[in-house]
Structure 1
Amino acid sequence: MSLKRIFLAVAVFSLWLFAGVASAANYTLWVNGRGGGGVIGDYTSFTYWGPASTNAGINKKAVNWDGYNSIASQNGTIRDALDCFCTGNNWCYIATHSAGDLMMGYTLANYGGSARVKKNAVANSSGQCGDADGTTQVGWNIKWVRAASGAAGGSELSDVGSWAVSEPLVQDLKTTTARAMYNHNDTHNVWFYMYAGAKGAWYSGILPGQDDSAVAYHSTGGVAGSAGQALCNPADWFCNDLTLGTAVNEGGSVKWGYHSVAFRDDAEAFNHYANSNWEGIVSVVRAAMVSNAI
């Protein structure tokens, strides 16, 4: 082969390599909880969270589902988003709120090892993206999940019917139901970092231990077991402590595999609700996404 042909081949390969690198991107996906509000399929619709102009991580996308129907029936919209932005050369950081944690845990446990067609990150009005090159991969490219008031362990408000019992999602959020819905330890090696709020309300007696007025520490702290239990801040002498990180809790309870408590609301300053303005415990997770989802 002549030097000219060698040079041309090298140049073509370099351009191909550069194009491949240039197409790689990181995305920040926000998965809502109960109530919904954003337009399903519109990844720019941040109605549930707050102003779309607010910084909330690199290339942020709102992964909207209706927040009313069952986790299983709504899960396809989550898989569409993960296929769109978390396959091929692209990687995702994921933030969830409340039942969005249950949704993500369910997704990874049931589909995290499935074959996914690599997509081009260009979505249509239904929230589905075109194929990138026709090839597949196993699962998704997810760096980690940060859960604001994670409800993967359910809530006693659902158990006693304080929420509208006619909602299919409320049935899923019963503590025993949520905890038996899937293998919470099976995250396909994706870490869930838990953010537990503790600014309860007048009806907090329904919720065991510390709570954010909607979900108790046993769930927001990613604590394993078939039912909820009372866990608190260290200042509470009459309740076992929820520990930070992956450490065993006071009293011997443990977290699910690949779950770590990143924030425990010792000052009891953050409640459950975003109020469509990035408020409550969501504000703490948003700050973490700004700093770490880059």
Structure 2
Amino acid sequence: MKKTLRMVMAVCLMAVSSFAAAANYTLWINGRTGGGVVGDYDSWTYWGPGTTAAGVNKKSVNWDGRSGIASQSGRIRDALDCFCTGSNWCYVVTHSAGDLMIGYTLANYGGSARVKKNAVANASGVCGNSDGSAQTGWNIKWVRAASGAAGGSELSDAGAWTTTEPLVQDLKTTTARAMYNHNTTRNVWFYMYAGARGTAYSGILPGQDDEAVAYHSTGGVAGSAGGSYCNPGDWLCKDLTLGTAANEGGSVKWSYHSVSFRDDGEAHNHYANGNWGGIVGVVRTAVVNSAL
């Protein structure tokens, strides 16, 4: 009887230990230009002060912001393996080309076998194995995209950015849209936040824009090329709708993509400016209230 009781208590203790070890993490994936130290999940140079609230157990998933998406995807996979496997779950937040990065990574690797990790990273951003077992894909609750560039940008098409950067080539509208199946999100919802504080020099961008990316991309509009979408009341182009509804004129959004914020007041530009600014600030507030 005593032996049986000890065994039951041991099982209970293991269960409690496993439960206590489970954690949620908030992963922030930068866009073009990078800035944070690659492999250092506590380097927040790209975003703003690291002391600023940005979701539970926040981690900065840094990649160089200049190389091609395919070549840098391994950095993202390392972070997802570290913090989003086993009993751990992740909230993922992206900015600009970070949206293209997570979309590409989920579509191409989200169905692969991933060895469960222990959430303790070395200097290269790689974590050790936990129990040696594997799982399919990652545990992701949602993705929130600030000025998502998975649909590309006409600034890349026109050569407004340096054409020697491989990332700029990937950000051409037709290239970005053909890079992977944007409807394949592994059932993870992408919540889109579209800024609209454009300027005269961003007139090359169709419809509403935030100086760098237009609504067709930041709103997750499907198709092989970009279109012209605006806030309600602008008679020059069609309305980008909130949620998953078809846009004015009938165009649809990619599967599992929903517009959470449309900048009707034209108050938010593209840039974080090292202080959680622009549309990034809007997303950060939403994350603080939901990534718990």
Gaps of at least 5 residues in structure 2 are: none
Which residue in 2 is equivalent to 1:7?
5
Q: Which amino acid aligns with 1:106?
A: Y
Map 1:268-287 onto structure 2 (within 5 A): 268-287=266-285
Distance 2:201 2:148 in 1: 19
Distance 1:81 1:242 in 2: 33
Q: After superposition, what is the alpha-carbon deviation per residue over 1:121-164, rounded to whole angstroms, capped at 9, x for unaligned?
A: 00000000000000000000000000000000000000000011
Q: Which amino acid aligns with 1:23?
A: A
Which residue in 1 is equivalent to 2:125?
127
Distance 1:262 1:155 in 2: 20
Task: Say if 2:207 is the partner of 1:206.
Answer: no
Task: Say if 2:161 is the partner of 1:163.
Answer: yes
**C-alpha displacement of 1:205:** 1.4
Distance 1:20 1:259 in 2: 33
Map 1:99-118 onto structure 2 (within 5 A): 99-118=97-116
Which residue in 2 is equivalent to 1:75?
73
3-state DSSP of counterpart to 1:103: helix
Q: After superposition, what is the alpha-carbon deviation per residue over 1:53-80, rounded to whole angstroms, capped at 9, x for unaligned?
A: 0000000000000000000001100000
Q: Which amino acid aligns with 1:149?
A: S
Distance 1:118 1:22 in 2: 17
Distance 1:170 1:5 in 2: 66
Map 1:29-178 onto structure 2 (within 5 A): 29-178=27-176
Fraction of identical pairs, as percent? 75
Q: After superposition, what is the alpha-carbon deviation per residue over 1:18-50, rounded to whole angstroms, capped at 9, x for unaligned?
A: 000000000000000000000000000000000
**C-alpha displacement of 1:189:** 0.3
Distance 1:70 1:156 in 2: 17
3-state DSSP of counterpart to 1:203: helix
Gaps of at least 5 residues in structure 1 are: none
**C-alpha displacement of 1:235:** 2.2
Alignment RMSD (CA, Å): 0.4
Q: After superposition, what is the alpha-carbon deviation per residue over 1:208-245, rounded to whole angstroms, capped at 9, x for unaligned?
A: 00000000000000000000000000021221000000
Q: Which amino acid aligns with 2:118?
A: N
Distance 1:291 1:235 in 2: 30
TM-score (norm 1): 0.99
Which residue in 2 is equivalent to 1:183?
181
**C-alpha displacement of 1:204:** 2.1
Which residue in 2 is equivalent to 1:222?
220
Distance 2:124 2:172 in 1: 30
Distance 1:69 1:17 in 2: 44
